[in-house]
Amino acid sequence: MAFIYDRIVRFQDTDAAGVVFFSNLLTICHEAYEEMLRWRGIDLKLFFQHPDFALPIVHAEVDFYQPVFCGDRLQVCVLPERLGTDKFKLVYQIDRGSKEVAAVGPVAQAFTVHLCIHPQTRQRQALPVLLQDFF
């Protein structure tokens, strides 16, 4: 199920040229991931400090199609995709919030791959039950 996150680009997100600094777009994507979890009723503090599992990002990629500036309204569409028993991918399509500008296509697309591990042993393990209905 897709989740939509709305975000206004802040001055702190931009570089000296006035456009979003490349790594900050991944930060915005991670914000969307956290909001998706919260929207699904997951307590973020418990989730990210869970003693039985951790979900580190093992791969991240971003393609930029248009510059993004301070004050731009963004819509981040998050699409979860299961990649097996212990891994999932989140695909992020980033569009401008304005319908007139959005017609020219997305400003960027990104994805992150998350692997489920045990926090103490760092060994792979099956995704927790609370994520089973995400895919």
**Residues with catalytic function:** 15
CB 90 within 8 A of CB 77: no
In 3-state terms, what secondary structure has residue 5?
A: strand
Residue 117 CA to residue 90 CA, distance in Å, equals 17
Amino acid sitting at position 63 = D
Distance spanning both ends of the chain, measured CA to CA: 7
- Sheet holding 87-96: strands in order across? 3-8, 73-82, 87-96, 108-115, 57-64
Q: How far apart are CA 51 and CA 128, in angstroms?
A: 12
Distance of alpha carbon 85 from alpha carbon 21, whole angstroms: 34
